Amino acid sequence: MATLTLLQAINDGLRTAMRDDPSVLVFGEDVGKKGGVFLATENLQKEFGAKRCFDTPLSEDGIVGAAIGMAMNGLKPVAEIQFQDFIFPAFDQIVSEAAKLRYRSGGQYTAPLVIRTPYGGGIRGGLYHSQSGEAYFCHTPGLKVVVPSTPHDAKGLLLASIADPDPVLFLEPKALYRSVKGEVPEGSYRVELSTLREARAGKDVTVFCYGAMVPVSLKAAEESLASGIDVRVVDLRTLLPLDEEGVLEHARSTGRVVVVHEAPRFCGFGAEISALIAEHAIEYMEAPVVRVTGFDTPFPNTLEHHYLPDHRRVLDAIERVAHF
- Residue 200: what residue type? R
Please say whether the beta carbons of 26 and 41 come within 8 A: yes
Q: Which residues of 184-213 are buried (b: 16+ CB within 10 A; e: fewer)?
A: beeeeeebebbebbebbebebbbbbbbbbb
- Residues ≥6 apart with Cβ < 8 Å to 305: none
Task: Return d(Cα 269, Cα 171) in angstroms, integer.
Answer: 14
Task: Return d(Cα 246, Cα 257) in angstroms, integer.
Answer: 14
Task: Return d(Cα 248, Cα 244) in angstroms, integer.
Answer: 6
Is residue 129 among the annotated active site residues?
yes
Task: Return d(Cα 59, Cα 87) in angstroms, integer.
Answer: 10
CA angle 248/157/143 to nearest 5° reads 70
Sign of the CA dihedral with 246 first, then 133, 123, and 31 last = positive
The secondary element (H helix, E strand) that includes residue 221 is helix 213-224
Given 129, 152, 250, 311, the catalytic residue: 129
Taking alpha carbons only, the member of 255, 266, 173 closest to residue 216 is: 173
- Residue 130: what residue type? S
> 233 has which bridge partners?
200, 207
Please say whether the beta carbons of 175 and 212 come within 8 A: yes
Catalytically annotated residues: 129
